[in-house]
Structure 1
Amino acid sequence: MKSEKITGAVKSRWYEDACGTAMALEFVGERWSLLILRELMFGPRRFGEIRAHLTGISANVLTQRLAGLEAAGLLVRRKLPSPASVQVYELTPWGYEIEPILQTMGRWATRSPLHDPTLPFSPASAMLSLRTMIDAGAARGLAMTIGFRLGEDQFLGTLADGTLDIVRGDPDGADVVIDTQPTPLAVWIYVKRPLAEAEADGSIRVTGDRAAAERFADLFALPVKIARPAG
């Protein structure tokens, strides 16, 4: 088949290839597509919320990508019930299945010397990175709840049996609550900036069990970088 309707208009196929990887790229190979899916990984979002966390995307391009992903069966549009009565975009069950792929790509790409963990993160990206990079072996035997307030976004994490589950939700009542922004969080977790230093300049505020926060941060490390080619 030479072309097919994906975004509402006839779209030329990029490949004539039976490989599953080629088929995947038909759905998510365009610029921004995977990042849109990343932003929806923690539940439905409004158009403006998605765009706010994708620096540089235009409203027109976001509209096109959302339409394409919807046509591919990766997300759906629906209207929230009253009193909200707003349209949101939400991953389908098949769409949610892309998370392990995003995690594998993330672990693979962060081995590059070009990766810079101090660049901006979105809240969803920061939370997905924690689910991706946790050292399951080091976490085994630890149990805690940890909340995150990242601006207007709130999440609640549950650490148990070496796994970390994170959902959107009110973090009140967690063993420890981290009030910060995504980038200072990443610098503390991955660059290993001392927590006391981040607290001193106000970039991170810890409520609850501070020792638990320190133990939590110790569960994460970036992978060893690949060697740059000689010459």
Structure 2
Amino acid sequence: MARALDVIGERWALLVVRELLLGPRRFNDLLGGLSGMSPNVLNQRLNELVDCGVVNRRDLGAPTRVRLYELTPWGRELQPVLFQLGRWGTRAPLPPDGELGVGSLMLSLLAGFDQARAGELRGAYEFRINTETYAVEVADGLPRIRRGTVDQPDATLTTSIDTLRAVCGARTSMAVAVRSGDLRLDGDQHAVQRLTELLLAPFTPPPDA
């Protein structure tokens, strides 16, 4: 434990890892997803995580000259650790200004996915939230989520982050959001139903809860 904390125990380090679980990110994208973190601290954490072998720094070169940060295979092994830590943290009080970002909501799908309740759920879906697009692919009873698109998705969901928070937080229903035009579902009836179950299952208590 002490050796692990030497690598990821500094403040913000695990949250940087969390932001990279869904795929590579640019420095400014990371900064935007970590409210309250200063650019200097983010730069320091990234340098430390790169030096330790948890994060890889990659330059795309001309003409884009974009620098990306992504998890190494060793860094990706932290995913189940982070999910378990997140489940443990759900019993802690929410901060007064705490709101889940898009990435956090997508990770909640993974962290809360109950394979036993999923049954034969499978398919490829797109979640289009504000300006971000996430590819969600379910196979062998497990979802895989990444930033990006899907070739010929079975169904797509298009909405704003505020509406998604309201639906996942049970402040409104999917049906109400669709009727109001705040949320759009595209695809055949069965695929849309599977996408709806995929989205809501992690936020819905089991029948015997």
Matched, 1:219 2:201: yes
What CA distance in whole angstroms lies between the structure 2 residues aligned with 1:73 and 1:139?
35
1:171-190 to structure 2, matched below 5 A, reads: 171=150, 173-190=152-169
Shift of 1:142: 1.8
**Which of residues 33, 38, 45 in structure 1 aligns to 2:18?**
38
Q: Equivalent residue for 1:68?
A: 48
% of aligned pairs identical?
Answer: 37
Q: Equivalent residue for 2:147?
A: 168
What CA distance in whole angstroms lies between the structure 2 residues aligned with 1:216 and 1:33?
30
Task: Give the greater-gyration-radius structure (CA).
Answer: 1
TM-score after normalising by structure 2 = 0.84
1:73-112 to structure 2, matched below 5 A, reads: 73-110=53-90, 112=91
TM-score after normalising by structure 1 = 0.77
Q: 1:196 to 1:223 in 2, by over 3 A?
A: closer
Aligned length: 202
Shift of 1:59: 0.7
Q: Equivalent residue for 1:3?
A: none
What CA distance in whole angstroms lies between the structure 2 residues aligned with 1:222 and 1:61?
37
SS in 1 for 2:4: helix
Shift of 1:66: 0.8
Q: 1:31 to 1:182 in 2, by over 3 A?
A: farther
Shift of 1:65: 0.9
What CA distance in whole angstroms lies between the structure 2 residues aligned with 1:187 and 1:75?
33
Q: 1:213 to 1:144 in 2, by over 3 A?
A: same
Match for 2:128: what amino acid? R
Match for 1:179: what amino acid? T
Q: Equivalent residue for 1:16?
A: none
Shift of 1:60: 0.8
What CA distance in whole angstroms lies between the structure 1 residues aligned with 2:18 and 2:156?
23
Structure 1 residues without counterparts, runs of 5 or longer: 1-20, 225-231
What CA distance in whole angstroms lies between the structure 2 residues aligned with 1:134 and 1:147?
17
User: What do residues 31-88 of structure 1 show as CA deviations (whole Å, max 9, x unaligned)?
Assistant: 2111111111122211101001111111111111111111211112120143322111
Shift of 1:123: 2.6
User: What do residues 74-114 of structure 1 show as CA deviations (whole Å, max 9, x unaligned)?
Assistant: 1121201433221111111111111010111111211x162
Structure 2 residues without counterparts, runs of 5 or longer: none
Q: 1:100 to 1:40 in 2, by over 3 A?
A: same
Q: 1:182 to 1:37 in 2, by over 3 A?
A: farther
Q: Which has the higher helix share?
A: 2
Q: CA RMSD in A?
A: 2.4
1:125-164 to structure 2, matched below 5 A, reads: 125-164=104-143
Q: 1:202 to 1:114 in 2, by over 3 A?
A: farther
